[in-house]
Amino acid sequence: MKTYSIRELSELFALPASTLRYYEEVGLLTDIKRDGKHRVYEECHFHRLKALCCFKETGMSIAQLQTFFSYEKDTNKNEEMVELLAEHTEKVSAQIENLQKNMQHVQRKLAFYQDICQAKQAQQPLPEWDEYRDKVFPRI
């Protein structure tokens, strides 16, 4: 069975060791064995952290994570789990939509300034921002 030190997990997930200790403190990482003073994480902790990082990166709060993992242990909470995940999915979809709108603006600015560079090199008139304001780019 593969085990990990706090340093190894910290490096694998690009998290400070203090975050791992905090997750333990709030009950998100449980049943951590010790070798003297050192924590010994197992494969189950690796997979739990993978899920934690995914949900955290999509904006799930610590309280929601605690609820999620408590529902995961309780097979009588399947409907609540579905509701929690459906709400989170809607939130993530809204974030993605907002990011796509912002990406359009970034792409317009990039195209505008690239065209300014090309116009300067070719000694042509510089483009006007109004020509780019409503330009639509393919989604990435």
> Which residues does 114 contact at the CB level (< 8 Å), separation at least 6?
none
Q: What is the pLDDT of residue 139?
A: 74
Spans of all domains in the chain? 1-73, 75-139
- Residue from 14, 45, 23 nearest 32 by CA: 45
Q: Average pLDDT in the 2-10 region?
A: 96
Whether 22 has a pLDDT exceeding 90, the answer reads yes
79 token code pair: 């409907």
The pLDDT of residue 134 is 84
pLDDT in tens, 48-91: 999 999 999 999 999 999 999 999 999 899 999 999 999 999 99
Token readout for 61 is: 């709060």
Give the integer Cα–Cα distance in Å for 113 and 107: 10
Answer for the pair 14, 21: CB distance below 8 angstroms, yes or no. no
* Angstrom distance (rounded) from CA 47 to CA 52: 9
pLDDT at 122: 96
> What's the pTM value of the predicted model, to 2 decimals?
0.78
Q: What tokens were used for 123?
A: 């000694």
Which tokens in the block code for residue 13?
């997930």
Residue 136 one-letter amino acid: V
pLDDT one-digit tens code per residue, 30-46? 999 999 999 999 999 99
Tens of pLDDT, residue by residue over 126-139, are: 999 998 888 887 77
pLDDT for residue 136 = 82
pLDDT value at position 8? 97
Query: Quick one: average pLDDT of 4-17?
Result: 96
pLDDT given at position 115: 95
- CATH class label, 1-73: mainly alpha
Which H or E element spans position 42? strand 38-42
- Is 46 within 8 Å of 4 (Cβ atoms)? yes
Do the strands 38-42 and 3-4 form a parallel or antiparallel pair, or are they unpaired?
Answer: antiparallel
- Please tell me the distance from the alpha carbon of residue 133 to that of residue 111, in angstroms, as a whole number: 11
* Predicted local confidence at residue 1, as pLDDT: 85
